[in-house]
Every structure is written in C-alpha cells, then in structure tokens.
Amino acid sequence: MPELPEVETTVRGIRAALEGRTIVDAWFDFANGLATPDPTTFHARITGQTVREVTRRAKYIVIHLTDATLLIHLKMTGRVYVVPDDAEDYADQWVHFRFQLDNAQQLRFSDSRKFGRVYLVDDMDEVTGSLGPEPLSDEFTLDVFREAIRKRSGIIKALLLNQEFVAGVGNIYADEALHMAHIRPKRTADTLTDKEIEDLWNGIRTVLQAGIEREGASINWYRKPDGTKGTAQNGLLAYGRTGESCKTCGIGIIEKITVGQRGTHYCPSCQR
C-alpha cells in the first residue's frame, strides 16, 4: 500500500496539472469506490468545481475545490495521473474514475484491486478528523512523541501502523524506522527507554524523508504519476530483505515474522 512518501510524491506529481483547472465532468464505473456521497449527488456537485490546491493528509490525496474537498485513498493498487484526453496508458485498463478538466486533460484513478476510495465532503475532517499527527510536521516533536508513547503499552510495530497514533506510516517505513532505532518489532511501547524513543522518533522522520527524496518505493504496484518507478526500494535495510545479510551490523540475517497480521522484517542481531 502506498504510504506517506508515495502519496506525497503523487501529490507533487499532479499538483501543477490540477491547480487552477475546473472539473467539467466526471465518470466512474465502480460505485463502491465512491465512499460518499451517493453517485448522483457526487456527479452533480463536482461538476463545475475548480481546483484551488492539492495537498496530502496521511495517506490521502486532498484536492481542495471551490466549494468542497475531494479526497482519494489509493489503498493497495491505486494510481492517479493527469493526461490528455486521447492519451493511452497501461494503467487505463483499471481506471474506475475519470475527472474531465477544462483543458482537454483528465485526472484518472486506476485501481486494479478496487480497494481505493473517493470522498467528496464539505469538511475533510469528516474523513481525516481521527488521524494522528503528521510525522514530518513541526508539531510532531520529540516531546509529543514521547508523551504519546508513554500512554501506550501495546506492541510497538502495531502501534506505528495505527493511523490514529501517527499518520502516514505503513508497513515498509515502520520496519525501516524500527531497524534504524535498533528496536525489535515485538517490543511493547512501555518497555522503551527514553533513548530508544528518541531514536525511533528520529528513525521515523529520517526514513520518511528519505522515501520522499527517492520518490517512493516501487516494490509492487506503486508508480509515480508519470508511470515511472520510485527508487526508495533500493535503500531499504530491512523490509523485503528476508534471508539477506544485515547491511547495518554485517552479522545478522534479516528475518520475517508476523506482527498484527503484517509481514515484518528485522535483524535479530542489531534489533535486540
């Protein structure tokens, strides 16, 4: 599933093509992908809306319109891109939403597994109101993180995946942050020392920023809006490296276990 770096890269890739453009029509063939409102209301309301700004909140693409907010969650296999009306793309075979723009271009939402969701709301808090802090924001300070950790006692890997605890972190970057902090994924939050909490806070921010700089990790379905791959996968130290020698300590072999029904990668030597 695309995580914060992949969604941020997508937002940056479509922003210039969307901002200032007016949506003159919309087409979709998968009603279940439209979380809210109902299809008739959605079509009537989005027609004529102008895109003011394109941003991100957690794993949501947020398109601020003149009189509403359009949110897109890519889930596992979603990809959005802006192309001329007559352009043909490999991903078009899975397109379930097309937004016709006023300059003979379209915003397309392709999703082969059909897990992605689209929302049109008056207030984005209707969808994102329960999300935790943005981990790369100035408000996500070490003190804020430490205080939040001290209130928890659950398994740390599962906690990092809880979007109400911290927004935007998923399986890839949780494994990478824990590896960087030398913390075993099944540790419980209440056993972390102050130093480990600080190392984890630094680890979260470092791996997410690196993921953005490398334009996301194209391990499975994720592609940038232009169809090319990101390169973050080339710098991963734990995720997806099962059976390989640990690049951090040079001693351990990366193992894969299951934590909260998610495949989890770690080095038993340097994550003790």
The residues annotated with a catalytic role in the active site are 2-3, 59, 262
Residues 6+ apart with CB under 8 A from 41: none
Contact 63, 69 (CB under 8 A): yes
Q: Report residue 145 as tokens.
A: 């993180």
Nearby residues of 165 by Cβ (< 8 Å), 6 or more positions away:
132, 148, 152, 159
The answer to whether 185 touches 222, Cβ cutoff 8 Å, is: no
* Under 8 Å between Cβ of 52 and 63: no
